[in-house]
Amino acid sequence: MTRHATRTSRSSRPLLVTTSLAALALIGSSCSFVGADGADGADGAGDAPTEEGSGPVVLLTHNDFSLPDEVVAAFEEQSGHTLDVRPTDGVGNLVNLVAEQAGKPSGDVVFGVDNTFASRVLGAEALTSYDGELPSGVATYALPGDDDGALVPVDNGNVCVNIDDTWFADEGIAPPATLDDLTDPTYAGLFAVPSAATSSPGLAFLLATIAEYGDDWPTYWEDLVANDATIVAGWSEAYFGEFTQGGSGGTLPIVVSYDSSPAFTVDKKQSATSTSALLDTCYQQVEYAAALDGAANPAGAQALLEFMVGPEVQAALPESMYVFPVVEGTELPTAWATFAARPETSYEVDPADIEANREAWLVEWTDVISR
């Protein structure tokens, strides 16, 4: 559901920030609590096709892809294919790699393309259709415009503003609830924001403000700057470095994070959490997997896609990659079911509009926050 707001008058003043136009090349750095090590994945294009039911499946992904060893072993046992994971630093770089290698990919499957970048790989004609059946609930997350069904939804989550409930209670200050509230002087100097130019959740938060304020979004950002928002390179810097509940002595009780984040700030008794997601500030992200056109192992690619929406992967997603499963009825960990509240509606921007305007929006955003 896309929401819009009327134009509002705002003021502005400068703020020192840690980003620049040069950072635009790093768009989309992915942010989860864990990661996986590996090679860049740019090599290997043009490998000879493998026999059906044998050979490795090469997975191109971001460097936060992580599944338990026993889940990977289950795929290899069930399919007869080994899994070769090749991470790339950031979703933006992953998408660029896939688009540049269209028709001659260095892998068989891509995972981690989200709805803010998916139209780029579709436009590059780098993908081929999935020929399997989708379990119940998965089609809900299909990307508009993907008429061939190439992108298979695997997980979802919402980028939301999070707050330190304990800090606000101790200070006797009513916490914010909406995007508008974040520009109120009550919250001056309390908000940590990952860069839209170098972070996937940072870009998602920018898109939320574009969905809310339309053409007036730069004025809203001028007000955030005027209210002493702290803008840092990525989600890890914002959450772990600046946020009061991030564990590193941060001093800011408001941060851009995820709707799942409160499930990780529960007490030892698993009876309460110290943080909340502001559910009126959320932008939905969906991650997709797809078989690559020209893949050396097309049979293995289809087998991996089927496995990614299977019960083993879907059940592992919350605790291994800190995202929600897309298959209906997948059981969540207790802390998630109790404390990871989800919004009834989320901000959305049409993928075609994102593709047409992303670079211009980021140039303007960088100009606004650098004044």
Asked whether the predicted pLDDT for residue 10 surpasses 60, the reply is no
Beta-carbon count within 10 A of 140 CB = 12
Q: At what angle do helices 351-370 and 217-226 cross, to 10 degrees?
A: 40
- Mean pLDDT, rounded, for 55-75: 94
Residue 42 clears pLDDT 70, i.e. is over it: no
Mean pLDDT across the stretch 233-240? 92
| Whole-number pLDDT of residue 197 | 87
How far is the C-alpha of 56 from the C-alpha of 275, rounded, in Å? 43
Whether 105 contacts 131, CB under 8 Å = no
Helix, strand, coil percentages for the chain (3-state, nearest 5): 35, 20, 45
Give the E-state strand segments of 213-355 in sequence order: 230-232, 254-258, 275-277, 283-292, 324-325
Residue 43 pLDDT level (bands cut at 50, 70, 90):
very low
Whether the pLDDT of residue 2 is over 50: the answer is no
Same fold, 56-156+287-336 and 158-283+341-370: yes
Asked if 362 and 92 touch (Cβ cutoff 8 Å), the reply is no
This prediction's pTM = 0.79
pLDDT(128) > 50: yes
Out of 3.40.640.10, 3.40.190.10, 3.40.920.10, 3.40.50.880, select the CATH number for domain 56-156+287-336.
Answer: 3.40.190.10
The CATH architecture of the domain made up of 158-283+341-370 is 3-Layer(aba) Sandwich (3.40)
Closest to 313 (Cα-Cα) out of 70, 71, 56: 71
Which of 82-91, 208-217, 285-294 is predicted least confidently? 82-91
Pick from 102, 114, 23: nearest CA to 62:
114
Strand 254-258 to 152-164 pairing? antiparallel
Domain ranges of the chain: 56-156+287-336, 158-283+341-370
Taking only the tens place, the pLDDT of each residue in 295-331 is 999 999 999 999 999 999 999 999 998 899 999 999 9
Question: Which position has the token pair 């007869």?
Answer: 80
Q: Examine the pLDDT at 342 and tell me if it is beyond 60.
A: yes
d(Cα 362, Cα 26) in Å, to the nearest integer?
Answer: 12
- Is it the case that residue 14 has pLDDT exceeding 50? no
CA angle 156, 159, 164 (to 5 degrees): 130
Distance CA 299, CA 314 (A): 21
Dihedrals phi, psi of 209, to nearest 5 degrees: -70, -30
To the nearest whole percent, how much of the chain has pLDDT over 90?
76
Backbone angles phi, psi at 192, to 5 degrees: -105, 130
How high is the mean pLDDT of the chain? Answer: 87
